[in-house]
Amino acid sequence: PPVSGPAGAVGDIQPPGVEAHFVVAACENMINAKAMVPSDILTASNGKTIEVLNTDAEGRLTLADALVFADKECGCESIIELSTLTGACMVSLGKKICGVWTDDDDLAKDLEEISKTTGDKSWRMPMAKEYAELLKSKVADMSNLGGPYGGAITAALFLTEFVDKKKPYAHIDIAGPVWDDKSGATGFGAKLVTEWVRKSGE
């Protein structure tokens, strides 16, 4: 998982002045008699209901509960979440740059500066609220898929439904840079997260 590297680094460094929680939304992804199918309605741990329109948009369903856990159970003051969430982000930014979605300008600035320092290249993307219409469902609070366009944005908007709106939160889509076709896993994001945690304690 993207957070295992920085979790180990932060554990070794033990930066003062900050308590960090690393939450991994890991689960088996195999077909069985209980597997979800299109038209299923799931209830997230915060009580919001989700209509499953596409079973390939499954990662955001586990992320939803992980975000609720980080927010409500861990009581984190600010949250950043890294995921290989959408091919749409790769269409926008290619294989070398991750996309950052946040409503918090201070958090965005911090991540931009840390990105430049660590070399984990990032770019802030629009949190276009008007696209939230694409997530509407007739039978649930929301669906797990937006329209055919702007998929990286609607995925980010979906995830904001599971964190306190007043809390600094950033969704970071690392689908492109986390993997190199020639060399394999890149470890992208490890330095970014580690440095963000360290700076948060200053």
Q: What is the DSSP string of 66-88?
A: HHHIIIIIS--SSEEEEE---HH
- Say what percent of the chain tops pLDDT 70: 99
Parallel/antiparallel/unpaired status of strands 122-124 and 41-43: unpaired
The predicted pLDDT at position 1 comes to 66
The predicted pLDDT at position 196 comes to 98
Q: pLDDT tens, 36-90?
A: 999 999 999 999 999 999 999 999 999 999 999 999 999 999 999 999 999 999 9
The pTM of this model reads 0.95
The predicted pLDDT at position 34 comes to 86
60 token code pair = 């955001």
Q: pLDDT tens, 147-171?
A: 999 999 999 999 999 999 999 999 9
116-135 average pLDDT score: 98
